[in-house]
Copies of this chain bind each other. A is one copy, B any other.
Amino acid sequence: MSLTRTRARRATINDVARAAGLSRGTVSRVVNGEKYVSEEARQAVEEAIAQVGYVRNSAARNLVKQESRAIGLIIHEPHSLLFEDPNIGSILLGANEVLSKADYQLVSLIIDSDRDSRRVADYLRGGLVDGAVIISARASDPIAAAVAEIGLPAAFVGHPDGTPDLPYAAINNEEAARNITGRLLGTGRQRVGMIASALDRDSGQDRLAGFRAAMGGKFDPALVVEYPLYTYAAGLEGMQELLRREPAIDGVFAASDAVAAGAMTALQEAGRRVPEDVGIVGFDDSSWALRCRPQLSTVRQPADLLGSTAAELVLAQLNGLPGTPRVLDTTIMWRGSA
């Protein structure tokens, strides 16, 4: 396979030592900024490093130190969501900020196939990272199992059940869904439906459960449609279906803002006014919310905080502390759509 690989041998610490007329040990001390090295030696080493073009080999270092100072972040999302779900970016940035301050390198690993799944598991097991943050895991996720098996310090974003007992940073989807549905009902709506999504995930299940709880006796299974993903397309189709089933529908809870945006388009194309004819609420308070006309009433979920909190849970374990699960608060952002 590899034909004419002619990359020159990299300079090692020994080359530097030779060029500086000093020993390996002294060079190592300079490179790591330790004390007990004379000013004279330090300069000689620095010159030698520049001269031979030395850069430290991390594999060798990781081997002897038995740590990598890197944390993996596993993204296990279906294709379309990587583009549509703005939460992922926020989670990433939140985690990165915390880890960066603690001088850990965040490495993101995406899983898009079974082959990826195995390779990522090997990557984590191999000691290339000291810990892991797992987002959007589902029940019986092989990665989560691999992590648990080798006792790698890890944390979930979200709280899927059926996964190993690891700390997590999550929001209470059920409660939040219950609250915003209640608020929607408070505007006097009589026939309220839901576009549910992602029922293979805890968030999807819990949002549906919250809706159901808030509806109480008014709950009508015919007014719930289900789609596999939190997408704009799901909202578009879902709303059309709901209108078909119940033309008198006057309220909708969409499982996410993207879904709500699709639903709003469907409503407007069907000639319904929002919020006069139909009130609509979403979930996430993503950039979608401010983009809709009227702007969306929705649940604000602190995505960046979820990421940073999960990162902190991993760091805590690295320091021998327990790392207890944390549930973060959500707030309702009441705007013009209901």
Contacts and interface: CB of A to CB of B under 8 A. Distances in A.
This protein's copies in its complex: 2
Interface stretch (A37-45, A79-87, A136-144, A162-170): A79-87
A163 B8 CA distance: 23
A269 B68 CA distance: 54
Contact of A60 (B63, B89, B108): B63
A226 to B, nearest CB: 22
Please indicate which of the listed interface residues A3, A63, A93, A265 has the most CB atoms of chain B within 10 Å of its own CB: A63
Contacts of A97: 112
A92 B75 CA distance: 12
Interface in A67-113: 68, 70, 79, 82-84, 86, 89-90, 92-93, 96-97, 100, 103, 105-110, 112-113
A55 interface: yes
A92 B110 contact: yes
Nearest to A104: B119
Given A105-B123, A232-B291, A265-B293, A319 B3 contact: yes
A73 to B, nearest CB: 9
A210 to B, nearest CB: 25
Q: How large is the interface on A (under 10, 10 to 19, 20 to 34, 35 or more residues)?
A: 35 or more
Nearest to A109: B107
A113 B100 contact: yes
A123 B59 CA distance: 11
Interface of A: 1-8, 10, 53, 55-63, 68, 70, 79, 82-84, 86, 89-90, 92-93, 96-97, 100, 103, 105-110, 112-113, 115-116, 119-120, 122-123, 125-128, 150-151, 232, 261, 265, 268-269, 286-287, 291, 293, 318-321
Given A5-B318, A59-B63, A107-B108, 17 more contacts: A3-B319, A5-B320, A6-B320, A7-B151, A8-B151, A53-B150, A57-B63, A57-B127, A63-B63, A70-B128, A83-B86, A93-B110, A96-B116, A100-B113, A100-B119, A103-B119, A265-B293
